[in-house]
């Protein structure tokens, strides 16, 4: 489905919350992220800051969702969420949200790098009655081996645990690349057994307010339960960041070949990962 990019006036953009002011991370939070592979941060944005962006993200996502089959006709992956990527290219309001300096600075500080670029963003809306998100690694999709990556996951509405908030296998990022295991029943079975066999603790984010966020390493095993709420969609926006200066690795799977063509257009393995789709959104020297 094609979605026409919506025009937004400069005045409307100027009236939006800037989302550029710093969020103060403690050394303990940074150390815990690097040890455990994820962080749960409260109040990364306030509900009042989130609300004007939520309207635009939701309108675009629900328009896209009109092309989805009914829940009972989808496979496991399709039941997990409505998924719309690179939302920031469709609307200048969403672009301002996705490129927010505050979020990007947190990503850089957690990873311990000077600057970050956007890989892409995604709206992930889990409908009431939607299925679980199987255990998986995000970075298995990305041709960015050896490049630090992190995903921001932020509810745009208050979400209690019954709506399917995140869960993580603590410390599992240290396993590194576990192969091309797409989100599926197979990845759920494989990684559930691995988590049990290796004795990883599973940490659940639990209830989250609009504007709370989790950040997780690209290799951290994670998933989410289904949405058992009676009628509320779990509305989430995600932004994937990678360290500035990273290079594209040779794709070793069909999904990585697809991602290289889609998110790094015109670039080849060995090139700097810096296409026009991957803007530099924070750098402590250039974009403080």
Q: What is the per-residue pLDDT across 23-73, written as a single tens digit (0 to 9) for each? A: 999 999 999 999 999 999 999 999 999 999 999 999 999 999 999 999 999
- Domain assignment present for residue 13? The answer is no
The per-residue pLDDT for range 203-218, each reduced to its tens digit, is 999 999 999 999 999 9
* HEC assignment per residue over the chain: CCCCCECCCHHHHHCCCCCCCCCCCCHHHHHHHHHHCEEEECCCCCHHHHHHHHHHHHHHHHHHHCCCCCHHHCCHHHHHCEEEECHHHCEHHHHHHHCCHHHHHHHHHHHCCCEEEEEEEEEEEECCCCCCEEEECCHHHCCCCCCCEEEEEEECCCECHHHCCCEEECCHHHHCCCCCCCCCHHHHHHHHHHHHHHCCCEEECCCECCCCEEEEECCCCEEECCCCCCCCCEEEEEEEEEECCCECCCCCCHHHHHHHHHHCCCCCCCCECCCCCCCEEEECCCEC
Identify the band that residue 13 occupies on the pLDDT scale cut at 50, 70 and 90.
confident
The per-residue pLDDT for 7 is 59
Q: Does 136 reside within a domain?
A: yes
* pTM for this model (two decimals): 0.94
Supply the CATH number for residue 206's domain: 2.60.120.620
Domain count, the chain: 1
Q: What domain range is 220 assigned to? A: 20-281
In a domain, 115, yes or no: yes
147 lies in a domain?
A: yes
């Amino acid at each position: 489905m094609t979605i026409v990019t919506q025009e937004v006036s400069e005045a409307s953009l100027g009236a939006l919350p800037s989302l550029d002011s710093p969020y103060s991370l403690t050394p303990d939070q940074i150390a815990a992220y690097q040890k455990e592979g994820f962080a749960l941060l409260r109040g990364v944005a306030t509900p009042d800051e989130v609300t004007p962006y939520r309207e635009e993200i939701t309108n675009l996502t629900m328009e896209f969702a009109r092309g989805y089959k009914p829940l009972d006709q989808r496979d496991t992956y399709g039941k997990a969420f409505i998924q719309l990527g690179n939302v920031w290219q469709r609307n200048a309001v969403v672009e301002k949200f996705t490129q927010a300096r505050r979020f990007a600075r947190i990503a850089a500080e957690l990873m311990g790098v000077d600057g970050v670029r956007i890989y892409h963003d995604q709206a992930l809306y889990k409908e009431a009655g939607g299925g679980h998100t199987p255990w998986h690694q995000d970075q298995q999709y990305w041709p960015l081996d050896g490049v630090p990556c992190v995903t921001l996951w932020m509810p745009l509405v208050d979400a209690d645990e019954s709506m399917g908030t995140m869960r993580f296998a603590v410390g599992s990022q240290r396993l590194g690349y576990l192969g091309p295991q797409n989100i599926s029943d197979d990845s759920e079975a494989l990684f559930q057994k691995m988590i049990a066999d290796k004795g990883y603790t599973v940490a659940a984010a639990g209830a989250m307010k609009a504007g709370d966020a989790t950040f997780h390493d690209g290799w951290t095993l994670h998933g989410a339960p289904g949405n058992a709420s009676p009628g509320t969609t779990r509305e989430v926006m995600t932004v994937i960041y990678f360290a500035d200066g990273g290079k594209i690795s040779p794709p070793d799977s069909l999904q990585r070949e697809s991602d290289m063509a889609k998110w790094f257009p015109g670039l080849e393995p060995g090139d700097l990962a810096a296409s026009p789709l991957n803007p530099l959104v924070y750098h402590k020297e250039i974009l403080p």
